[in-house]
Amino acid sequence: MRESCSGLLALVVLKLSEKLSLTSGQVAVAAELLAREKFQGKKSASVTESINAVLASIGLQGEVEVRDEVYDVKVLGEKSCPLKKLCPLPFYVASGTRILSGAKVYPVWENGQVVHEENNLCVFRLKPVKA
């Protein structure tokens, strides 16, 4: 039952994008606001620990690999998810990570999307902001 509800939610978000000009920027703002409410006053020691804490807060487990100072995050997602451009997960994880660890990270756009599928996993990258 959960998959059909989340599938419906994805279709509703896509329809909003098509008909009412919902943008990835608006999704990012909403994810930021949600993360602020969820993680206000909480702290975490490292970026990797923060990423895992944010994922756990919504019932997900992920694998985090650090390559060339970029965090590759892999989570088990839904098959054929249509939200690769509008997926809130990378924005939510980036916002939560900034709040928990103080490290400024942002999702990396690749080929016009923030998430891609790899071996039945949703994969996204977070890149630190260099001062």
User: What's the whole-number mean pLDDT along residues 58-84?
Assistant: 87
pLDDT band at 3, cuts 50/70/90?
very low
Q: Which residues of 73-99 are buried (b: 16+ CB within 10 A; e: fewer)?
A: bbbebeeeeebeebbbbbbbbbbbbbb
Tens digit of each residue's pLDDT (9 = 90 or more) over 31-44 = 999 999 999 999 98
pLDDT-above-70 percentage for the chain: 93
Say what the pLDDT of residue 6 is: 64
Hey, what are 82's tokens?
Answer: 């249509």
Hey, what are 13's tokens?
Answer: 């978000």
Say what the pLDDT of residue 2 is: 43
pTM: 0.88
Cα→Cα distances 111→57, 64, 120, Å: 29, 21, 19
